[in-house]
Structure 1
Amino acid sequence: MEKKSYQNPAELLVKEYLLADSFIPYTSIICGICACKMVYDLTQLFSSFYFKSYPSLSKIQRTEWSNRSISTFHAIFITAMSLYFVFWSNLYSDNQYAALVTFRSSALSTFSLGASVGYFLADLGMIIWFYPSLGGMEYVLHHLLSLIAVAYSMLTGEGQLYTFMVLISETTTPGINLRWYLDTVGMKRTRAYLINGVVIFVAWLVARILLFMYLFYHVYLHYDQVKEIHSYGLLLIFVVPSVLSVMNVIWFAKIIRGLRKTLAKRH
């Protein structure tokens, strides 16, 4: 009886406050930030025990090592959620609901976007604090655009489908981070490094080039619904993916040059 008396108020707190619709955005952001902190600390703890080269790294390299583990963790989480909502969930199906696809949302979709906002806030803070060691101005611009777009979609419920489409591009992040890890520990000339480069090329082509084309095509097909969005949200739908597309193409050109250079050295 005593255990139950403690359990009921705890369940009530979670259901009525932390997971109430009005509190989900703020709860999810806090969860995202706390998850980043937890992953950062655990990475430092495990790396010092299980990676012999970790203690010999410089202070900023150890910071980037842990920072990249955060982005990898976020990428796996948000890619899984985005793929589910875009391709498997009925939430955004054309034939499932009478409501406009651009205004559909759920508690789970909002929570997922909020957790992503928490990550972008934490990571952007680290990039600015250690600037430019963790990334230059292009990373700041990328994170700012992503943060604004994801936060708007989370708070208003508008255009969440297109936000998840863009977030699928995070599927390339684990490969990029693995490449940095392999380079840092002196495995740049290994077969694993070469395979990693090929995987990055394919993933980038699919998730950051072809998928963005599909996004714009989907917007074109559903423009009668898209135009009903608030003017600020409409601006974000067109501007953010367009800017990110240009950045993706520029980075893709660098990936191609790097892969060609690596293949040339192998031969």
Structure 2
Amino acid sequence: MDPFSQLILTISVTSFFTFQWLFHKVSPWVSERISQGFPGLTDKQKVEWNSRTVSTFHALLVGIFCLSILFFDDAVNEDPVWGDPTLVKTNVAITTGYLISDLLLIFYYWKAIGDKFFVVHHLAALYAYYYVLGQGMLPYFANFRLLAEFSTPCVNQRWFFEVLGYPKSSRPNMANGVAMAVVFFMVRIAVMPVYYGRMYAVYGTEAFYLVPWGGRVAWICSSICLDVMNIMWMHKIARGCYRVLRSGRHSKAGVPQENGKTD
């Protein structure tokens, strides 16, 4: 194993244990001191609270890293299939550690945060990231997909408001709900034409045919699988946002939120 591959493996393993530590130790300790409502939550709510806290931290970390690569990494932007993947692999290694950590928590605390769509989402992403980390291919597309993480903090903030007792019709939650829907749409739905347009532009080129069949399947099928789920979640969020705005207009209580990190 070359030194850089060893570094990437070290980053992934370190990321895994860091996110486990954040979930089990840091989030409960900090939450008890900054939120008066946290101690009164049920055990299941505390599990989901800590899970969402960790996912918010991960989203901000890799999202900022992702933007810096998108704007300043010329090698990746000029050659989206085989450009220098050094920074992208580092960012993807962090996300890989997080996804494995989150999968472990999902299975262990299934009754609290179990979600079959999130299992599919994580496995599809990990399958694609295997080729990014192992062979350094498709760095632009791997990095572009991480833009979706910017929707996570808004989604989680809405859940935090509601679990602490903010009704859906309250002004803070209504504003957050609208912001969440807009951000989710911008980073997961509106960017689809850009992503698939760039994919179409490299389809059939010499660089494309250098990608092995397994890599093409991971690239194309994983992208379609993730975006089908994004569309499903956007539809669910849009319906929820509509109900919130309608309930606020008529000064009625909102419909109780369903479980799931994408709500």
Q: TM-score range by the shorter chain?
A: 0.7 to 0.9
Give, in whole Å, the separation in 2 of the partners of 1:132 and 1:191: 31
Give, in whole Å, the separation in 2 of the partners of 1:104 and 1:68: 33
Which residue number corresponds to residue 75 of structure 2?
91
Unmatched 5+ stretches in structure 1: 1-16, 95-99
Give, as a single letter, the amino acid of the residue that structure 1 aligns with 2:224: S
The residue matched to 1:29 in structure 2 has which SS? helix
Match of 2:209 among 227, 234, 242: 227
Give, in whole Å, the separation in 1 of the partners of 2:75 and 2:174: 39
Give, as a single letter, the amino acid of the residue that structure 1 aligns with 2:242: R
TM alignment of 1:68-87, pairs within 5 A: 68-87=52-71
Q: Please say if 1:244 is aligned against 2:226.
A: yes
Which residue number corresponds to residue 259 of structure 2?
none
Which residue number corresponds to residue 4 of structure 1?
none
Q: Is the 2:69–2:87 Cα contact (8 Å) retained in structure 1? A: no
Give, as a single letter, the amino acid of the residue that structure 2 aligns with 1:247: M
Pairwise CA distance, 1:132: 4.0
Give, as a single letter, the amino acid of the residue that structure 1 aligns with 2:163: T
Match of 2:115 among 114, 125, 136: 136
**TM-score relative to the length of structure 2:** 0.88
The residue matched to 1:52 in structure 2 has which SS? coil
Which residue number corresponds to residue 161 of structure 1?
140
Give, in whole Å, the separation in 1 of the partners of 2:117 and 2:29: 30
Q: Is the 1:113–1:151 Cα contact (8 Å) retained in structure 2? A: no
Which residue number corresponds to residue 259 of structure 1?
241
Q: Please say if 1:191 is aligned against 2:174.
A: no
Residues matched between the structures, number: 245
Give, in whole Å, the separation in 1 of the partners of 2:92 and 2:215: 15
Give, in whole Å, the separation in 2 of the partners of 1:49 and 1:154: 39
Give, as a single letter, the amino acid of the residue that structure 2 aligns with 1:22: S
Which residue number corresponds to residue 11 of structure 1?
none
Which residue number corresponds to residue 126 of structure 2?
147
Answer with 1 or 2: which has the greater Rg.
1
**TM-score relative to the length of structure 1:** 0.87
Q: Is the 1:25–1:155 Cα contact (8 Å) retained in structure 2? A: no
Q: Is the 1:209–1:248 Cα contact (8 Å) retained in structure 2? A: yes
Give, as a single letter, the amino acid of the residue that structure 2 aligns with 1:64: E
Q: Is the 2:88–2:142 Cα contact (8 Å) retained in structure 1? A: no
Give, as a single letter, the amino acid of the residue that structure 2 aligns with 1:240: S
Give, in whole Å, the separation in 2 of the partners of 1:83 and 1:135: 30
After the TM superposition, which parts of structure 1 deviate over 4 Å for at least 4 consecutive aligned residues? Answer: none
Which residue number corresponds to residue 183 of structure 2?
203
Pairwise CA distance, 1:109: 2.3
Q: Please say if 1:33 is aligned against 2:33.
A: no
Aligned residues with identical type, % of pairs: 24
Give, in whole Å, the separation in 2 of the partners of 1:69 and 1:22: 30
Give, in whole Å, the separation in 1 of the partners of 2:192 and 2:219: 12
